[in-house]
Each structure stands twice: as structure tokens, then as C-alpha cells.
Structure 1
Amino acid sequence: NTLVEDIPDIYERLQRYINQGTYQKNIPREIEKDCKIIISLSVVKKLMKKGKIKTVRRSGLTHVDRGNAILQVAEQDPLGRFGCRLTKEKLRLEGTHIPRDFVMRFNKADNAALVATRHPAQRKTHQHGIYSAGPNEEWCLDGHEKILQSMGIGVYGIVDKFSRMELSLRAAPNVRDTRLPVSVYLRTVKERNGIPLSTTSDKGTELGRLISLVQALRSEYLPDISEADVPSHSAVKSPQNITRERGWRPIWEKELSNILHFYRVGQNDAGFQPNDAFHAGLSLWVWAKVVQAKLDALLVENKYHKIRGQKKTLLPSDARRIDLYESPEEYDGMDLKTEIPEEDIDQLLAEWDDPSLFRFGDEDSIIVYEDLYRTVGSPKPLASDGWYTFHSMLNLHIRRLQAASM
């Protein structure tokens, strides 16, 4: 009772830890870190039982409930790119706990051939080792353009090398704009309250401003480390930017490719006319909203994804990415972030950041789109409903034009 008084939301907190993939044995550590209260594992177990915390073993779901939940996730995966593990993790974050074996058996019954191709024995592993001393030693960044040509939407991202945790994923109309890497980098610095020891990117003319900035920041806040000893930025060929390229692969294969599929197959039914300026502008705005919503969800999923144990890798494994990033000392690493005064970061953002880089449309058009979106009920930005949202907004716009002309 005293503990419940000290932590009024203890049951909700326990459920959140479980939903985020925290091992039960590690929950006392999380409570101590978040609430500054020491609690034993035995007390945690009693509280979980008393609070009826949902887990894989105590989900309260029938086989029918489990199957329906899996099918709901599958609706967002028409290309069949989600594996059993990813499906389980997506459901877990929503508070639905289903054993991975059940997901596999269910998917096998639905499509045995597809499940077989996803077995680890069918995939090649990278033959070269990657090493990092700890989080924020090296941020790897790059733009992704596979949906840009079809949809007009690119993605720019930053990933931490040690933890393999995505630090930023931003949708943008032009990932080759020289201002974009700087804006994404500084926004990430603001969120993390500091700079990494170094950065790595592909070679590209759009990196000039970023390279100058990171060199200046390193020189100011880490003057004892020379560029000769540890370069503040390394520009390499795309295949050598391994951490970033490996991070793009599941994002493209399992998520963005599905969005592109929904985008392509629904155009005719939605009445989309690509040569009409209003149609083109509205569809770009709607689908950019869908893409950014997915990227935001991916940042959460990525944090709590557990990297499977790998004996041959030089980087730590068998842990969640968020644990590798926030508690590196438990995995033979150390945080190499250099903190920067908040006022200095705000000054840099005021000088370098440009919100228009992430804007899909001119300001006047976006005001119209946002009003239409609110009026149709601000529907959840799902790829499966993207064209329906576009169609609803378009019809409302047409009715308004007709009313205005009467």
C-alpha cells in the first residue's frame, strides 16, 4: 500500500514496461531510474499478479483474439514483409501480447512458403566486423530516396552506431538540399542534449554545410581531440556506411515498400488526377503525413526492439537498443556524448534550422489542407486509408467551391 501511495501509477507503469519489452528482472532497475525508489523483484512479481498485468503468459486472449490481432497487423503489410518477430513486437507495443511461436504457426497456416523464406538460415550475413566504443561515438546519417521518384517524399535519418538505434527519421521533399542534413543533425543534437564524437555519411555535395558545422562544433567543445586523430566527419562510399545502410533495409523492405504499394494501387479508386495541380498538392501533403506518422512509429519500435544474440559480432547484442544506448556500461561501452549548453543549441537552431525543408506545399496551400483534414475528422494517417482520406478531403473541397460559386 505504501508503494502504491509513493507511485500512484505503478500498475500502468508496470504494464508500460512490459509493453516496451523490458525483462521482468530489469523492472526494479527501471523503477529506480524513473521514480528514485528501490524495489525488489519479488515485490514486482506480486504487483504484476495483483494488477493483472498482461504478458505473453497472461494475455487474457483466446486463440481467436490472437488471430484477429495478427490479421489487423497484416492489413498494413500487403507485401508480406513483416516477420513473426516484428509482428509480435508491433502487437506488444500496443499492449497485445502473443507468443512468437503462435504468430509463426498462424502465419504458416496462412502462407507457409513466405514464412520459410524469412528463416535466418535463408539469409546471408555480412562478413565484415563493425566496432564502436559506445553510444554517441559515431552517428551515421544519410538520405533515402526509394519512394521519392514515385511519391515525391524522401527520408533523412540518423542512427547511432553502437546501439543501432534510430535517432531521427524525417520526411522531406528534397533530401539533397544542402540545408537538410544540418537541420536534421541540429534537431537531433537538441533532442539528445549534445553532440557525438564523430559523424559518418555517404559522399555527396549536399554534405558541405554539415561537415563545416560538425568540425566547428568539435573544435569548440572538444578542442583536445584533433581532426588528425579522430575526424569529426567521415564521408565514405554508400556500401561503407554500413550502419546506416543496414538500418535503411528493414525500413524500406518492411515499411516504406508497403506504403508505396498502397499509394500505387489506390489512385484510380480515389479519383486522383496527377496532372491536376490541386490533386497533386493535396495527395503529396496527405501521403507525407502518412510517411512521417510511420517514421515516428518506427522510432518507438526501433528503440524497444531486442537485437538477437550474435556471437560473432563485435558490437553488443542480445539486448534492446534503448538499453544499449542509455546503459552502455552494462555492455562494455561508455557514453561518448559531449553535452552542449541549451542556449548554444537554441542559437545554432535559430541560425541554421529551416522548417520549410520539411514542408510539403506552400504555406497558403497547407492552411487549406489542414483545414480540410480537421473538417473530415483528422483521420489516423494509415497507408491503407491514405487514398480514402484524400478522397474525403477532395470531395469536401469541391463542395465548398460549388457552394462559393452559387
Structure 2
Amino acid sequence: MPNELGKNQWGEKNYPPKETLKTFLTMYAQRGLSIKEKLVRLERDLGLVIKKSKLNELERDLRIPSVRRPFRTEEELDREVLKAVEADVAQGNGPSTIKSMLKDDLIMVSRRKVREIMHRVAPEGFDKRFPGKRKGLIPRTALLSIGPFREVSGDGHEKLNAQALQMGSIGLSIYAYRDKFSGFLLKIDVLPNIRKSAAMGYVYLDLIYEYKGIPVQLTTDKGSEIGYQQVIQDALRAILAPDIDPEVDPSAVAIKSVHNTIIESLWRWLQKTTGWNLKDLILQGKVRGIFNPNIPSHIPLFYWIFVPLVQEHLDRFRTYFNNRRVRPQDDKILPSKHIPADALEHPDLYIPGTKSCLIDVPSELVDDCRRYLEEDVGPRENYLSWFSEDFDVIAGLVYDDIGSPKVTTQTAWDVFARMAGPVSDLYHDEF
């Protein structure tokens, strides 16, 4: 007998709106989740229980790309891989890294194709990346954490500081926070100065505001920057989680840099995938004779052009880092063979019974902390501004006059060269 109503014994499915479904399926694709993992996440995130065949149908209809169904021609894929390989000037990224970084832009390509193209256009890179002899390794111990936000590590990176660049006073410091349980990179910013306690106090409050909470424990190096971070962490935890004994579970811990492994291990990834390329880009200004630290307007103009560009690259690195699949480690107590972004959201799918330890912080309390900090040390812009408001106006006018060209790694120094003369004239007249 025909089924006129089109219903079966499994009942009706309540599908979310197409845009919502597409958003989640796109996110799963960027994270590289398997079919089984996608089905589990759909049930967890959207309450949608479907089979593999239906998932395949939905992804096809919504044009969710995969390696087998990339929704791009072979020529387009080859071109995107070639662009990514050519952009890696330092040749620090292997096929898996290039493949993962392309995945973040929904460019799905096989590792085999990436490897073939790399062997064709940049074969010397494989020799450069070959593991060499490493000396003076720090003894490793297994990391422990009972869930996301049980412990968050913070640390600075100064491979682009003034001493490294040798371009006068020009320097770009980087600071990051990483969750210990999931390995998720919570925040990574380029900053004027990471050694000032007040500056890092403002940055830590930004982190708290973004995630609407604090970890049970903040772990940092024993540097000058920890003062206000520790004060804020101690005060908020004492107010919002008074039942946690600080004698048993300290609120903030400062340790030697070499032992802050959860964050220190991040810098190797940053250098390999992004850092060397950024340093090479910045040094082009010195090599090509475009930048002169003795011309007063060149320094703020450098920051005006390059700080947003560097931050854009850090944001892309963060997306790649959080969406990559971590290699399996049989002796690891914390999750392995996982995707950091997924482990942060669904920790119990990796270790049953695990849950987030985030201590909720109301936004009004964050605002109170900011007011306290401003009263104590002065306004935020005194520590986190790269140039004056007046210079920003001058640079903006000149940028508009030259047609507002797009600033990329390929065009940044050309834009600088076009702006330098007019900015210098206005800067001299103004100051």
C-alpha cells in the first residue's frame, strides 16, 4: 500500500533553518571532523539525529566542501595550493600544515596533491624541514587537567622585538593565552609592550570579557607582566568561587618559562607556520631601503600599516591551530588525536564526565575592574596604543588620497612607500 503521507516508523525530523544547519556543517568541515563525529555533534548541538546518507545529502545540497567534493575545479585547487606554498617564504610548513591552513578557508584538497605541488615548486623546503639533532631538551612529564578552563597558561613571544629586527625602535611583541585541557588557543595579540604589568592587566580583562569568565588557575612566567593579571585573577576568584581553597588550588601560579610547556610549545608552531614569514616581510623594508628609523614619521607609519596586517596573520594562525587535528599520543593523559576547538566545546566526548571549569564573571564586574585599573595606572591607550590619535588622522587622510589600496603581504611596503612622503610632510607641519 502506498505511503501517501510520506512518513515512516522513524517519525518526523525537525530540521533547523538552512542557514543554521549550514553554519554548523561548515564549522565541522573547517575542523576536519569525521562523518561519525559530525553525526554526534549534530545531535549534541542541534538535536538532529540523522544517518550517514542524510548527512551526505545535506552537505551536497548546502554545498559543504570536502576533499572528495571540493566544489572547485582542479585548476582552482592547484592555484590555491600554489599561492599557499609561495606565501610560505621561510618554507617552514609541510604538506599537512598547508592542507590544514587551506581547510580553514574551506579549500579542501588532499595531502597527496599538496605534497606533489610542493615537490614540484619548492622541493628544497623538504630538506629544510628534515628533523635535525636537538640538544638540551627539557625532561617531559604528562600534563594533567580535569577540564577546559581548569588551567589557562599565558606567555609572551618576542622574536619580532627591536633586538630581533634591528630597525631602530621598531618592535612587535606577541602575547597568548592557551587552555591546558584542550590545547585551544584562546587569544593571541600583537602588542606594543608585554613587559608592563598595567598593559597586561588590560589584556587579561579583554580575555575575561570575551569568554565571560576566568579559569580556576592562571599560569604565567615569572616576568614583570604578571602583577595586575595575578591581582585581577585572585580578586575575581575569591569573589566568585570562595569555596575553592587557594591553599589547595592556587588562583595564579608563576613558573619558569621552560616549564610553562602548554604555552611555550605554541611558539614553535607560530614560528614555523607564520613567524618566519612575518619577519622576512618586515625586514624587506630595511633590505629595500624603504624604511628609515631616523625619519620620525616612519615609525608610527610602520605601525599604522603593519600592526593590523600582523594581527590578521595571528588570527589566521589561531584559526588553523584550533581547527587542526592533534597527533595521537598513547601515553598522554589529556585528549589526543583531537581538534582543540571541538575538545573545548565537547570535553566529555573525549574524556567521559569531563566538563568546563570556567568561573562565570558578569560583564559589570569586568567593567569595575577596568575602572579600578584606570584609576590606578591611567587609561588603556597609554599602554596599548601604537600611535597618537593625531597621527591616525594624518595617515587616514593620506591613505584615502592614494586610493585606499588593499594592504597585503605583497603590497604592504609599496603602500608604505607611497604614503611615506605625504605623511612626513603633514607630520612635520603638525608636530
Same fold at TM > 0.5: yes
| Structural mapping, 1:285-304, within 5 Å | 285-304=304-323
Inter-CA distance 284–11: structure 2 relative to 1 (3 Å threshold): closer
2:66 is aligned with what amino acid? T
Which residue among 204, 212, 233 is the counterpart of 1:214?
Answer: 233
Inter-CA distance 20–382: structure 2 relative to 1 (3 Å threshold): farther
Which residue among 344, 362, 368 is the counterpart of 1:347?
Answer: 368
Please say if residues 142 and 244 of structure 1, whose CA atoms lie closer than 8 Å, have aligned partners that are also in contact. Answer: yes
2:251 is aligned with what amino acid? S
**Could you tell me how far 1:41 is from its partner in structure 2?**
3.6
Superposed CA offset, 1:312-348 (max 9, x none): 2222111110111111111213211111222212322
Inter-CA distance 326–376: structure 2 relative to 1 (3 Å threshold): farther
Bigger radius of gyration among the two: 2
Inter-CA distance 316–357: structure 2 relative to 1 (3 Å threshold): same
Please say if residues 270 and 391 of structure 1, whose CA atoms lie closer than 8 Å, have aligned partners that are also in contact. Answer: no
| Structural mapping, 1:264-283, within 5 Å | 264-267=283-286, 269=288, 271-283=290-302
Which segment is superposed worse, 14-23 or 210-219?
14-23
Inter-CA distance 376–56: structure 2 relative to 1 (3 Å threshold): farther
**Partner residue, 1:21:** 32
Inter-CA distance 234–71: structure 2 relative to 1 (3 Å threshold): same
**Partner residue, 2:109:** 98
**Partner residue, 1:49:** 60
Please say if residues 270 and 390 of structure 1, whose CA atoms lie closer than 8 Å, have aligned partners that are also in contact. Answer: no
CA distance in structure 1 between the aligned counterparts of 2:25 and 2:347, rounded to whole angstroms: 23
- Give the 3-state SS of the residue equivalent to 1:157 in structure 2: strand
Inter-CA distance 325–16: structure 2 relative to 1 (3 Å threshold): closer
**Partner residue, 1:147:** 160
Unmatched tracts of structure 1, length 5 or more: none
**Partner residue, 2:192:** 173
Inter-CA distance 352–382: structure 2 relative to 1 (3 Å threshold): farther
1:265 is aligned with what amino acid? Q
Which residue among 245, 258, 264 is the counterpart of 1:245?
Answer: 264
Provide the TM-score with structure 2 as the length reference: 0.84
Superposed CA offset, 1:229-287 (max 9, x none): 01111111110111110011211232122111111124454632221001122012212
How many correspondences in the alignment? 403
2:358 is aligned with what amino acid? K
**Partner residue, 1:82:** 93
| Structural mapping, 1:385-400, within 5 Å | 385-395=411-421, 397=423
1:8 is aligned with what amino acid? K
Which residue among 131, 142, 145 is the counterpart of 1:132?
Answer: 145
Inter-CA distance 122–63: structure 2 relative to 1 (3 Å threshold): farther
Which segment is superposed worse, 170-179 or 127-136?
127-136
1:323 is aligned with what amino acid? D
CA distance in structure 1 between the aligned counterparts of 2:192 and 2:316, rounded to whole angstroms: 20
Which segment is superposed worse, 296-305 or 255-264?
296-305
CA distance in structure 2 between the aligned counterparts of 1:373 and 1:3, rounded to whole angstroms: 54
- Give the 3-state SS of the residue equivalent to 1:132 in structure 2: coil
Unmatched tracts of structure 2, length 5 or more: 1-5, 7-11, 375-379
Inter-CA distance 205–390: structure 2 relative to 1 (3 Å threshold): same
**Partner residue, 1:72:** 83
Superposed CA offset, 1:352-379 (max 9, x none): 3724433211221122223434554555
**Partner residue, 1:107:** 118
Inter-CA distance 167–377: structure 2 relative to 1 (3 Å threshold): farther
Which residue among 7, 23, 45 is the counterpart of 2:17?
Answer: 7
**Could you tell me how far 1:383 is from its partner in structure 2?**
2.9
Which segment is superposed worse, 212-221 or 365-374?
365-374
Q: Which is richer in helix?
A: 1
CA distance in structure 2 between the aligned counterparts of 1:377 and 1:97, rounded to whole angstroms: 35
CA distance in structure 2 between the aligned counterparts of 1:16 and 1:376, rounded to whole angstroms: 38
Which residue among 386, 395, 399 is the counterpart of 1:360?
Answer: 386
Inter-CA distance 63–46: structure 2 relative to 1 (3 Å threshold): closer
Inter-CA distance 119–272: structure 2 relative to 1 (3 Å threshold): closer
